[in-house]
């Protein structure tokens, strides 16, 4: 019998073993409760035991290789109802060395004994499970997993290649499982990539195959970063636009397949020249509006001369009409503008001229010497008189902060929030300007939307969409009698993670928020989460070092502040990841980030101590959830949060990885609700191990 997905959410392959005549099988019709490693229930409901009670339960691992190292996971559950005086106590030996024990399997509860460090292989490798001297029953075993350690000591992929292919992944939203290093380990390169390997140099990407991958849009210029590329296959997608010139500058390119797309225009002459010379295999079939030479006529194969002769006069006539319309609109606009009262505008610093995210200056205290720093924006500029009208003379306050006061308002039928800068603000005009410029340029459904702004003398304000449900902190606080369900908490966390991931990976240059906290995550009337408060945000400048690190003055909120950033003053995206991990722990526990007790214990330390002491996720989970959750989903969320708050930034995941993991947590919880059971109501079972470390739990499929 073989079990895998969907019996196993991790798609591990479980085979039944043909034991010798010295062993017998036992089984139960009862339900065996599972633990964080989540073996299939069908696997845990059966076990083997020696027929001769005095004999150990032994087996050899014949597939191990000398010199390799392994991790063991052994699963036990007591399936029989024991008599009052019976005892089943076990010791485990591996290659005649004591591995773990003694311990007693728990009745109908999964217990996992596993190694937290790799075990060196011995050939033959023998596992012996023995009853202790005081045991009255023979040993049992339900299942065993053995994982060989993969050598990852080889060099990582060239950093520029890795950056380029990650940008390609982000641009096209590649649905393949592209995680970790693109080329390393050598036998686990990303699907569709081929790499060259050298003992002394980092691997280089030499082939990229994204055929039939559902790509759309233009051919990404990020491909130009793969300078060693020899083969490129983008066939059978929905790519549009022209064939870019940079492809002809990839000196090693010997095969280019662009067939089956919707490309237009003329193939660059250098590519055609290389194709004719035989140094490049070029395939452009199926692009009906793509030509090998100019002029490029309809269908790419020449057209009707008479028909072509009509094009020029028709285009000229249309162009003439368009010019007249545009001139008329300009005249009307000028006349209207003349009638409007002129605002006291000063020369612009032209911030709004580009569609790329802007460089954000460091925050400085408020000063009045800012005549040259007015904001230019395509967004709507409001006069102070209009702001008074929108807010009904600032009649309803909905929040206060270091920036100033936030007022409720109406813009027509739309509710808005108006954040007015106080002249005595600890933040000031620079941050006001920084936030406005970011939100003018950056748009995502999980970032707050800027409707407009006021910048009139010392009257400065930002006008946002109104977030009816306030901030996340107010909903997870123990002071709130209402509480969010576990599914709601995961969805909100995922929304916030997606917004942050967009800042890090969807913006060029990347933007570091610098002040991620639960009060800066706002909820609309549908409880959709959006990141807010970008006054401290910084864009990584183009001249930042290759790791994306930039020196900056430390800024942020105590408790959420990355300790590595605090000590080194080196800012990067992983600083935001740390802060997000703290928010995730708040969501899970509903505890304050810094305890009000005299020792002022930090939340991450409290969680770590509680899990290490009890090995039970219920010890940290918000008790208001009352068992209405999927235990494995909670464990996984805790693991994600604790990895995010790793002291060393290089041990933290990227926000892309966090989004994937939280999506899996959410799917597990939704699956539980759809199946109509509540695994969280079962008391958490004891984890028998060499150390409680949930980083060893696998990731769900």
- CA–CA separation, 474 vs 328, rounded Å? 53
Specify the DSSP element, H or E, that contains 588: helix 573-589
Nearest-CA neighbor of 262 among 293, 234, 281, 282?
234
Alpha-carbon distance 531 to 391, whole Å?
A: 23
The CA distance from 583 to 630, in Å, is 20
Across the strands, what pairs with 195?
A: 205
Distance CA 625, CA 665 (A): 16
What would the two tokens of residue 701 be? 């499929």
The token pair at 82 is 């024991």
Name residues whose C-beta falls within 8 Å of residue 174's C-beta, 6 or more positions apart in sequence: 168, 210, 213
β-pairing, 264-266 with 289-291?
Answer: parallel
User: CA 311 → CA 241, 264, 322, distances in Å?
Assistant: 21, 18, 16
Helix (H, G, I), strand (E, B) or coil at 125: strand
- Please say if 8 is a catalytic residue: no
Instruction: Please provide residue 380's backbone torsions phi and psi, each rounded to the nearest 5 degrees.
Output: -75, 130
CA distance 549 to 351: 24
Q: Which two tokens stand for residue 11?
A: 């798609």
Tokens of 374: 């007015």
Termini Cα distance of the chain: 21
Is 419 annotated as ligand-binding?
Answer: yes
Q: How many CA atoms lie within 13 A of 529 on its CB side?
A: 25
3-state secondary structure (DSSP) of residue 583: helix
Spatial CA neighbour of 539 closest among 566, 576, 565:
576
**Closest by Cα among 197, 205, 191 to 162:** 205
Q: Are 531 and 447 in contact (CB under 8 A)?
A: yes
Cβ atoms 632, 615 nearer than 8 A: no
| 418: β partners | 407, 463
Token couple for 268: 């660059």
Cβ atoms of 536 and 513 within 8 Å: the answer is yes
- Please state, in angstroms and rounded to a whole number, the distance separating the CA atoms of residues 229 and 247: 10
Distances, alpha carbon 161 to alpha carbons 156, 223, 511, 555, 698, in Å = 10, 9, 21, 33, 29
How far apart, in whole angstroms, are the C-alpha atoms of residue 137 and residue 102?
A: 14
Which residues lie below 8 Å from residue 660, measured CB to CB, with a gap of 6+?
179
Catalytic residue among 8, 158, 233, 515: 515
Asked whether 24 and 51 are in contact (CB, 8 A), the reply is yes
Backbone torsions φ then ψ of 281, nearest 5 degrees = -90, 115
* Sequence ranges of the binding site: 419
* Sequence ranges of the binding site for ATP: 419
Which residue numbers are catalytic? 515
């Amino acid at each position: 019998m073989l079990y895998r997905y969907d019996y196993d959410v991790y798609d591990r392959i479980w085979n039944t073993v043909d034991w010798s005549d010295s062993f017998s099988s036992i089984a139960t019709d009862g339900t065996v409760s599972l633990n964080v490693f989540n073996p299939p229930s069908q696997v845990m409901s059966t076990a083997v035991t020696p027929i001769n009670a005095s004999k150990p339960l032994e087996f050899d691992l014949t597939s191990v290789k000398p010199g390799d190292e392994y991790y063991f996971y052994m699963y036990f559950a007591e399936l029989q109802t024991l008599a009052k005086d019976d005892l089943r106590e076990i010791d485990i030996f591996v290659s005649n060395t004591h591995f773990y024990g003694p311990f007693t399997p728990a009745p109908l509860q999964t217990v996992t004994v596993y190694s937290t460090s790799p075990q060196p292989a011995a050939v033959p490798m023998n596992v012996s499970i023995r009853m202790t001297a005081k045991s009255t029953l023979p040993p049992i075993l339900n299942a065993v997993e053995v994982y060989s350690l993969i050598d990852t000591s080889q060099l990582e992929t060239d950093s520029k290649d890795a950056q380029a292919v990650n940008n390609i992944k982000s641009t096209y939203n590649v649905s393949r499982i592209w995680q970790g290093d693109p080329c390393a380990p050598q036998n686990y390169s990303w699907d569709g990539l081929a790499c060259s390997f050298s003992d002394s140099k980092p691997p280089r990407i030499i082939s990229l195959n994204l055929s039939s991958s559902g790509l759309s849009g233009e051919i990404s210029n990020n491909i130009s970063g793969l300078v060693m590329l020899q083969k490129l296959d983008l066939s059978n997608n929905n790519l549009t636009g022209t064939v870019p010139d940079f492809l002809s500058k990839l000196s090693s390119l010997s095969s280019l397949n662009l067939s089956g797309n919707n490309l237009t225009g003329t193939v660059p002459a250098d590519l055609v020249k290389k194709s004719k010379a035989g140094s490049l295999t070029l395939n452009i079939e199926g692009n009906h509006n793509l030509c090998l030479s100019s002029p490029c006529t309809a269908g790419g194969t020449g057209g009707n001369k008479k028909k072509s002769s009509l094009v020029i006069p028709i285009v000229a006539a249309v162009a003439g009409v368009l010019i007249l319309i545009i001139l008329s609109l300009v005249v009307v606009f000028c006349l209207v503008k003349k009638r409007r009262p002129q605002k006291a505008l000063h020369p612009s610093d032209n911030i709004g001229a580009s569609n790329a995210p802007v460089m954000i200056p460091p925050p400085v205290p408020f000063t009045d010497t800012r005549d040259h720093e007015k904001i230019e924006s395509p967004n709507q500029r409001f006069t102070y008189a209009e702001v008074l009208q929108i807010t009904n003379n600032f009649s309803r306050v909905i929040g206060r902060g270091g920036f100033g006061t936030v007022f409720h308002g109406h813009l027509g039928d739309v509710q808005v929030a108006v954040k007015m800068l106080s002249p005595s603000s600890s933040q000031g005009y620079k941050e006001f300007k920084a936030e406005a410029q970011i939100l003018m340029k950056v748009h995502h459904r999980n970032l707050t939307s800027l409707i407009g702004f006021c910048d009139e003398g010392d009257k400065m304000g930002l006008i946002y969409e109104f977030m009816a449900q306030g901030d996340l902190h107010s909903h997870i606080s123990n002071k709130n009698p209402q509480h969010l369900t576990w599914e709601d908490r995961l969805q909100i966390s995922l929304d916030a993670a997606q917004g942050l991931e967009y800042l890090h990976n969807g913006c060029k240059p990347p933007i570091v928020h610098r002040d991620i906290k639960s009060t800066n995550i706002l909820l609309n009337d549908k409880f959709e989460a959006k990141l807010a408060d970008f006054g401290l945000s910084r864009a990584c400048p183009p001249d930042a070092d290759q790791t994306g690190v930039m020196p900056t003055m430390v800024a942020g909120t105590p408790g959420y502040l990355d300790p590595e950033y605090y000590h080194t003053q080196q800012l990067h995206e992983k600083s935001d990841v740390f802060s997000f991990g703290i928010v995730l722990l708040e969501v899970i526990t509903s505890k304050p980030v810094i305890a009000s007790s005299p020792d002022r214990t930090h939340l991450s330390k409290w969680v770590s101590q509680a899990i290490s002491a009890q090995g039970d996720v219920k010890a940290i989970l918000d008790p208001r959830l009352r068992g209405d959750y999927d235990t494995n989903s909670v464990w996984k969320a805790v693991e994600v949060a604790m990895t995010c708050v790793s002291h060393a930034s290089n041990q933290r995941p990227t926000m892309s990885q966090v989004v994937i993991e939280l999506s899996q947590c959410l799917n597990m919880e939704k699956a539980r609700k759809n199946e109509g059971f509540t695994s969280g109501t079962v008391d958490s079972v004891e984890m028998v191990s060499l150390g409680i470390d949930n980083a060893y739990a696998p990731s769900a499929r």
